[in-house]
Amino acid sequence: MKTPAPPPCPFEKLHPSELQRDDAYFMQLAYNQAIDAWRADEVPVGAIVARDSEVIARAHNQVVTTGDPTAHAETIALSQAAAAIGDWRLNDAVLFATKEPCPMCSGAAVMARIGRVVYGVPDPKMGCLGGAANLNTLPHSNHRFPVTGGVLLEECRALLQAYFAAKRTTPIA
Ligand SMILES: [Zn+2]
């Protein structure tokens, strides 16, 4: 069976200034990863891990490509980040994700002792940093981290909505 080509991505990558390395800067890099996901015909979610204002990991969703249900942008980025610094503890690192992390990825962030999480689009269905549930407030967990949602919200949401709309109208080849 021939795999249909991914729907063309109508969005361009962003080019944030490196001079101001704030949340919006890193989220724009995560957004660019999400565009790479779309181009690979994956649900467009991207993630960045930064430490000391430097990117130490960047990844996009690869579930279909790898056939691996755990290959979300965030889990891949957390693994890359741990490998990059040679320590599984990511206390002084920040995870940026274009969508609120799912149960698996929120759990991975807790287990990695992440320093902070920033996300774009809230996910009331599967988000587990306050959307559907909150793994950051497990009553007996001794690791909690600040969470900031809604960064680059409109862009990240438009990308997801357009992808799903395009997939619905793409004829089966
Ligand atoms: Zn996930």
Residues recognised as catalytic: 74
3-state secondary structure of 148: strand
Q: How many whole angstroms from 95 Cα to the centroid of ligand 1?
A: 12
Q: How many whole angstroms from 17 Cα to the centroid of ligand 1?
A: 28
Q: Residue 95's CB: how many other CB atoms inside 10 A?
A: 31
Residues 6+ apart with CB under 8 A from 153: 120, 121
Per-residue model confidence as pLDDT tens digits over 82-119: 999 999 999 999 999 999 999 999 999 999 999 999 99
pLDDT at 173: 52
Alpha-carbon span 105 to 111, nearest angstrom? 10
Q: How many whole angstroms from 100 Cα to the centroid of ligand 1?
A: 8
Q: How many whole angstroms from 75 Cα to the centroid of ligand 1?
A: 7
Per-residue model confidence as pLDDT tens digits over 129-160: 999 999 999 999 888 999 999 999 999 999 99
Q: How many whole angstroms from 168 Cα to the centroid of ligand 1?
A: 22
Give yes or no for a contact between 30 and 46, defined as CB atoms under 8 angstroms apart.
yes
